[in-house]
A = this chain, B = another copy of it.
Amino acid sequence: MVKVAQRYALLIVDMQNDFVMPGSPMRVVGAKSTIPVISKVLKTFRDLKMPIFHCIREYRPDGSDIEITRLANFIEHTKGLVPGTRGCEIVEELKPRPGEYKIIKNRFSAFMNTELDFMLRRLDVNHVIICGTQYPSCIRSTAFDAICYGYYASVLTDATSAKNQDIADSNIRDMTDVGIVCTESSEVLKKIKP
């Protein structure tokens, strides 16, 4: 890595009840167990007054803004992530506080058609710390776009989830291969503390 001072922001991705809670048809199995680690990372960013972004999914009830490959299932079954529902809300333990940013996305990447890149530039961030769910879609797409837009990107492996460990491992391999740092949160927390 080129040696420049790292200026961090935290991106917590899709930690909403519909993705996390047992019983939800959209549940990502590994997500709930990451809440304690994400909480710890979140607390550190809060203590250090570093920028925090809660990046979440929302869909219109008629499905007009969902990915075309997910439309039929959304209409017929899940109807998930609709604003105003309990399932769409961020899980209790990670609720945003005043001064933290919420980015609403309706695609995989938190950068696609959102204000995230503009806000990170304004904040002079050059390194995004990514966690949440899930590895093969929203986490990976966000991390790849971060690299594309010129940010350093780290993914917290103990604070990020997938349906199973195989999926997690193969995505970590591919992300590492393009220069995305995939590492445990304790390693990253050591580095960001001044």
Q: Is A71 an interface residue (CB 8 A)?
A: yes
Q: Is A144 an interface residue (CB 8 A)?
A: yes
Docked Cα-Cα span, A174 to B139, in Å, equals 13
List the B side residues contacting A167 at CB < 8 Å.
170, 173-174
Majority secondary structure of chain A interface residues (helix, strand, loop or mixed): helix
A106 to B: closest C-beta gap in Å = 9
Contact flags A69-98 to B (C-beta < 8 A → 1, else 0): 111100000000000000000000000000
Contacts A166-B170, A174-B171 given: A69-B147 contact, CB under 8 Å?
A: yes
Q: Considering the complex, which residues of chain A in the window 107-130 have a beta carbon less than 8 Å from any beta carbon of chain B?
A: 107-109, 112
Contacts A72-B2, A174-B136, A174-B167 given: A179-B67 contact, CB under 8 Å?
A: yes
Contacts A170-B166, A170-B170 given: A68-B177 contact, CB under 8 Å?
A: no
List the B side residues contacting A53 at CB < 8 Å.
none
Q: Are A144 and B141 in contact (CB under 8 A)?
A: yes
Q: Is A152 an interface residue (CB 8 A)?
A: yes
A159 to B: closest C-beta gap in Å = 20
Q: Is A137 an interface residue (CB 8 A)?
A: yes
